[in-house]
């Protein structure tokens, strides 16, 4: 969407407009290196808040404070929760992007509104109980839950799982490892899935209840302002400010 708007405006008309877009797992090379188009480091702003600004560490201290013996162990619980949630969000993200790439359905009927929307973690039956053991369900297990809801045939499900596994098994160029959580979460973690996953993990593993909406709000408030300067989005927005003489960051 942002990219379409960016394309619609010719360069002279873009003067004075700064575009900020979610990376969404990959951006066409022609959008890179433009001073007036800032792209998130991770898939989207929510994922950037969690990974680049250490927002969860602060929220975890608050949410988990009553569930651990001391601040150090609470911090460790928070870090472990983020890792488990990341693995879960990576698997769900992989499943969704692979289905989209293969042109297969990803929409379910929302029980609340009756409208159609992309599948999410809440659609996976018994996800709380599965996470209580500290292990994220595999892509294949998630596909078995989601498949009947979106209408994949067994053959389609097998194609999606095979293809998604292939992405996970591909050796990353930066760390030269398979199943690299650092790289996969950058390309596959959708921030909304991640916030949902953290909310479920905190509840299932630690009995700390905070809904996704409330958690999302808390993460935005908690993003460490002292680290804003090293966040790629802010760094590039500041470079644009210096070039344009305009101000967008408070």
Residues that bind Zn ion (CB under 5 A): 172, 174-175, 180, 182-183
Minimum separation from the CB atom of position 188 to Zn ion (A): 12
CA distances from 31 to 3, 231, 241 (A): 8, 19, 19
Minimum separation from the CB atom of position 184 to Zn ion (A): 8
Nearer to Zn ion, 28 or 174 (CB): 174
Pairing of strands 116-118, 107-109: antiparallel
Nearer to Zn ion, 20 or 183 (CB): 183
Contact criterion met (CB below 8 Å) for 49 and 66: no
Nearer to Zn ion, 5 or 175 (CB): 175
Which parts of 43-70 fold into alpha helices (H)? 45-52, 55-64
Nearer to Zn ion, 89 or 146 (CB): 89
Contact criterion met (CB below 8 Å) for 156 and 104: yes
Minimum separation from the CB atom of position 139 to Zn ion (A): 18
Minimum separation from the CB atom of position 165 to Zn ion (A): 17
Task: Compute CA 150 distance to the chain's CA centroid, rounded to the nearest angstrom.
Answer: 21
């Amino acid at each position: 969407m942002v990219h379409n708007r960016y394309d619609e405006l010719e360069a002279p008309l873009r003067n004075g407009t700064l575009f900020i877009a979610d990376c969404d797992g990959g951006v066409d090379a022609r959008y890179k290196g433009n001073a007036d188009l800032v792209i998130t480091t991770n898939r989207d702003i929510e994922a950037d808040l969690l990974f680049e600004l250490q927002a969860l560490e602060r929220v975890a201290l608050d949410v988990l404070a009553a569930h651990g013996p001391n601040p150090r162990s609470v911090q460790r619980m928070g870090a472990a929760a983020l890792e488990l949630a990341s693995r879960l969000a990576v698997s769900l993200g992989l499943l969704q992007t692979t289905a989209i790439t293969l042109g297969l359905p990803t929409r379910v009927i929302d029980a609340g509104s009756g409208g159609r929307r992309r599948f999410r973690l809440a659609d996976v039956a018994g996800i709380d109980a599965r996470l209580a053991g500290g292990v994220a369900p595999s892509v294949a297990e998630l596909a078995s839950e989601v498949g009947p809801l979106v209408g994949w045939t067994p053959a389609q499900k097998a194609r999606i799982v095979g293809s998604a596994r292939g992405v996970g098994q591909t050796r990353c160029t930066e760390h030269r490892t398979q199943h690299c959580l650092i790289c996969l979460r950058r390309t596959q973690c959708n921030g909304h899935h991640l916030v949902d996953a953290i909310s479920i993990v905190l509840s299932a593993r630690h009995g700390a209840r905070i809904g996704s909406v409330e958690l999302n709000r808390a993460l935005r408030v908690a993003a460490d302002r002292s680290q804003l300067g090293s966040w790629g989005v802010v760094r590039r927005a500041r470079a644009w400010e210096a070039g344009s003489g305009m101000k967008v960051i408070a």
